[in-house]
């Protein structure tokens, strides 16, 4: 991960795969790139707990994933799937950096995207 944008694109790509194990691995890759000790400290998790939470087949809680996302200074957003990529009939690029939460129609399927990293 050379930049914040690379990290966002990588996490968003993982989220698009609809594979929880791949998403978990992606968070681990980004956490290691940012420094596991630093991410653990910022998340309030012990370093060993972070390693265990992000190892294959560990099934971390959503709370843990949210804590890791916050430690990575990332925000999660839900967007209608139709806006996820041009290939799915939407207009947004698949790795677009999201500036603000958008209105979500309650009638549509939702997908989760990682938004901009906080300043």
User: Which of the residue ranges 58-67, 69-78, 108-117 would you say has the lowest mean pLDDT?
Assistant: 108-117
Number of domains in the chain: 1
How far apart CA 78 and CA 81 sit, in angstroms, is: 9
Q: Give the structural domain span for 54.
A: 1-119
| Rounded Cα–Cα distance for residues 64 and 113 (Å) | 17
Per-residue confidence at 78, pLDDT binned at 50, 70, 90? Answer: confident
State pLDDT tens for residues 7-52: 888 988 888 888 889 999 999 999 999 999 999 999 999 999 999 9
Which band of pLDDT confidence, cut at 50, 70 and 90, is reported for residue 95? very low
87 exposed, middle or buried (CB, 10 Å; 0-12, 13-18, 19+)? exposed
């Amino acid at each position: 991960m050379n930049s914040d944008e690379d990290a966002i694109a990588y996490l968003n790509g993982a989220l698009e795969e609809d594979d929880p194990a791949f998403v978990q691995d992606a968070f681990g890759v980004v956490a290691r790139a940012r420094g596991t000790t630093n991410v653990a400290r910022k998340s309030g998790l012990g370093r060993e707990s972070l390693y265990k939470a992000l190892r294959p087949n560990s099934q971390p809680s959503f709370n843990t994933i949210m804590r890791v996302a916050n430690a990575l200074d990332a925000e999660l957003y839900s967007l209608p799937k139709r806006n996820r990529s041009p290939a799915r009939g939407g207009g947004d690029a698949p790795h677009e950096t999201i500036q603000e939460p958008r209105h979500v129609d309650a009638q549509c399927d939702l997908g989760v995207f990682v938004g901009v990293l906080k300043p």
